[in-house]
Amino acid sequence: KFQWSLRPDKLSDYIGQKDLLTRLGISIKAAKKRGEPIDHVLLYGPPGLGKTTLAHIISNEMSSNIICTSGPAIERSGDLMGILTNLQYADVLFIDEIHRLPRPVEEFLYSAMEDFKIDFVVDKGPFAKTIKVNIKHFTLVGATTRAGLLSSPLRDRFGILHHVDFYSTEELGEIVKRSSSILNVPVDEKGALEIARRSRGTPRIANRLLRRVRDYAEVIGDGSINEEIAIKSLGLEGIDPEGLDGMDKSYLKTIIENYQGGPVGIEAIAATLNEEVDTLQDMVEPFLLKTGYISRSPSGRRVTHKAYQHLGDSGILIQSSGQ
Ligand code: ADE
């Protein structure tokens, strides 16, 4: 195995997402037992939590090919038609950011998903007619940051829906240890947990931080990772001790400094930050809600005591005004 591939390729090597794994494992075993392709799968949740990895695992466990593309990459129905007609029986077609498929392309997918047929228009003007073309029975795996971003006709055509959630510090610690052994760098328990704590609940970030700490350990230390090396290296990189990133901090600071801590509507926060509402809802808020830095109610977003305390401690707020 190449050492830059830290992704697990089997269900049994996957760490975390326990309920999802149990349910997905049953779907896979049942399909294999019947000798059929697995039903279409929709994976939704924040970036970096393993949606692409899971798509690869599904194709591996089903011993089929995987074809990877993304919503914005498919501009015209013709592009999708080419992909669909080249699929073999039981292949996995992975479409990342599936909510960004252009509407006509999305509509073209409906009959492909449901009946494994596509409508193909030949001739022009008064002679135009549609021909139904059969395609092979394939599995569509779609990934999106929020299931609510999909139109309901598309969402309804997935038989299997899974939400991927943030990982606990313990799970990320296990992932860091697994990755360290692939990268051949010794790490102790406390070192792994220090990296895990600062990874924003996200394996992709944990693996990135691990590589930075490994660099530091090899140049400044003796090549192995412990708590002290992790703290020094990640401090030097400007990584927040609780894993908050620059965007998280700007978001919290905006609510505190411009809106007296809230409650404030998401549109107002987005306007002040010059960001898209969707970006905040899909990439920033889920982690802050999960870890209790903000709360959400019908009247808007409010920062919590925990946020004031953390920003105050890290010197980001000049005066902590309390709640
Ligand atoms: N690498 C990235 N994500 C992982 C996971 N969930 N389990 C094991 N290794 C991983």
Q: Which residues of the chain have pLDDT under 70?
A: 1-4, 318-323
Give catalytic status of residue 51 as yes or no.
yes
Three-state DSSP class for 174?
A: helix
| CA 222 to centroid of ligand 1, rounded, Å | 26
Does the annotation place 103 within a ligand binding site?
Answer: no
Give the pLDDT confidence of 109-148 residue by residue, as tens digits. Answer: 999 999 999 988 888 889 998 889 999 999 999 999 999 9
Query: How far apart, in whole angstroms, are the C-alpha atoms of residue 178 and residue 188?
Result: 12
Give catalytic status of residue 204 as yes or no.
yes
Nearest to 148 by CA among 54, 275, 44: 44
Give the pLDDT confidence of 44-60 residue by residue, as tens digits. Answer: 999 999 999 999 999 99
Does the annotation place 21 within a ligand binding site?
Answer: no
Query: How far apart, in whole angstroms, are the C-alpha atoms of residue 95 and residue 137?
Result: 16
Instruction: Indicate the top mutation candidate among 3, 57, 60, 178 to test ligand 1's pocket, ranked by most ligand atoms within 8 A of CB.
Output: 178
pTM, 2 dp? 0.93
Query: How far apart, in whole angstroms, are the C-alpha atoms of residue 81 and residue 93?
Result: 12
Give catalytic status of residue 39 as yes or no.
no
Instruction: Give DSSP secondary structure letters for 9-75.
Output: -SGGG--S-HHHHHHHHHHHHHHHHHT-PPPPEEEESSTTSSHHHHHHHHHHHTT--EEEEEGGG--
- Counting from 1 in the atom list of ligand 1, the atom nearest the Cα of 13 is 8
- Counting from 1 in the atom list of ligand 1, the atom nearest the Cα of 17 is 6
